[in-house]
Copies of this chain bind each other. A is one copy, B any other.
Amino acid sequence: MKYTEKLRNSGLRPTKQRLQICEVLFETEKTFHFTINELSLKIKKQIDNKISLATIYNTVHAFEKKGYLKQIPINSNETYFDTNVSDHHHFYDLKKEKLIDLENADVGPIDIKRKIDGKKIKSVEILVKLED
């Protein structure tokens, strides 16, 4: 299995559940955005055995900590995650409540002129809200 090594290298045991979640998350043509609830439904559809919700939460958070997933800063009553972990920005369709990736070429260079003493910039994320 191609994810076994990836998990081992991260200090995560390649369990059946984690490998299955890897398939659902990463064995896709395109990257995608999801909430835990949506991922849970996707898992139910794609695999036979049951994976507990607690394990899905645990795994998503473990993957996020390891950098295999990104949390998207947005106000919703559910937390959004992204399988696209490259630096990129988002449209947020307020009507559909859907995120859309902005490619790097879609956004001009961002110039943050201010500095805060003793602090480093970890990330710079743009959220563009869309209405009709």
Using a CB–CB cutoff of 8 Å, the interface residues on chain A facing chain B are 71-75, 79, 91, 93-94, 100, 102-103, 105-114, 116, 118-132
Question: Complex: how many Å from CA A122 to CA B100?
Answer: 15
Closest A-B pairs by Cβ, 6 of them: A108-B111, A106-B114, A119-B130, A122-B129, A122-B131, A123-B129
Q: Say whether, besides A74-B75, A132-B118, A113 and B106 are in contact (CB < 8 Å).
A: yes
| Interfacial chain B residues near A111, Cβ < 8 Å | 107-108
- The answer to whether A79 and B75 have CB atoms under 8 Å apart is yes
Task: Identify A113's interface contact among B107, B121, B124, B131, CB under 8 A.
Answer: B107
User: How long is the Cα–Cα vector from A24 to B75 in the complex, in angstroms?
Assistant: 24
Interface pair A94/B106, CB less than 8 Å apart: no
Determine the chain B residues whose CB is within 8 A of the CB of A125 once the complex forms: 126-129
Contact A91 B116 (CB under 8 A): yes
Which B residues are in CB contact (< 8 Å) with A130?
116, 119-122
